């Protein structure tokens, strides 16, 4: 199906991008439960290489 650009809603671009990102995440096999942090301080302490000084 081809929808002319002048009839296309701009919000569809953002929702399509979000859908593609979610599909990529789900297919990547990453488990969002593998690393738990209590708060930002805990994250910073466990990842000092990611802190810019």
3-state secondary structure the chain: CCCCHHHCCCHHHHHHHHHHHHHHHHHHCCCCCCCCCCCHHHHHHHCHHHCCC
Is the predicted pLDDT of residue 45 greater than 70, yes or no? yes
Looking at residue 48, what is its pLDDT?
Answer: 92
Looking at residue 12, what is its pLDDT?
Answer: 67
- Give how far Cα 2 sits from Cα of 8, 12, 36, 38, Å: 10, 14, 44, 47
Give 2-38 pLDDT, tens digit per residue.
Answer: 768 777 666 667 778 888 888 888 888 766 666 788 8
Looking at residue 30, what is its pLDDT?
Answer: 66
Q: How confident is the model at residue 42 (pLDDT cuts 50, 70, 90)?
A: very high
């Amino acid at each position: 199906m081809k929808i002319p650009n002048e009839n296309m809603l701009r919000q569809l671009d953002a929702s399509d991008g979000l859908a593609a990102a979610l599909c990529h995440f789900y297919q990547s096999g990453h488990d969002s439960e593998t690393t738990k942090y209590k708060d930002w301080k805990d994250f910073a302490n466990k990842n000092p290489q990611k802190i810019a000084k």
